[in-house]
A = this chain, B = another copy of it.
């Protein structure tokens, strides 16, 4: 992940409805949820929900899969983990004793961590 990708992710999340959608999908986990239910849950019109879901998808934070007439959206844990890793990279010059020594744990997120 480079700086541009990170800015795209952060801009995607820097919006009340999109943040609500993202957190909802984080909570739901791998099974995800169809677009209509997501729209209802966050109080968005179908048009707005579609627009915001596409933004989150483009940023690589969620992904879509068609299931019959529904399109299910689920959080993309790998994208999420890459973003958090990028934000905390080289914390305290790699000398964790400067900040409490636990920052490295931020890198071992959902779906296995390392790499």
**CB <8 Å contact, A108 and B105:** yes
Instruction: Report, as a range, how many residues of chain A touch the other chain.
Output: 35 or more
**CB <8 Å contact, A92 and B110:** yes
**CB <8 Å contact, A19 and B27:** no
Copies per assembly: 2
Among residues of B, the one whose C-beta sits closest to the C-beta of A114 is B102
Stretch in A33-41, A46-54, A62-70, A81-89 touching the partner: A81-89
Task: Pick from B7, B13, B26, B95: contact of A90, CB below 8 A.
Answer: B26
Bound Cα distance A19, B27 (Å):
27
Q: B residues within 8 A CB of A19?
A: 3, 6-7, 10
Bound Cα distance A29, B92 (Å):
4
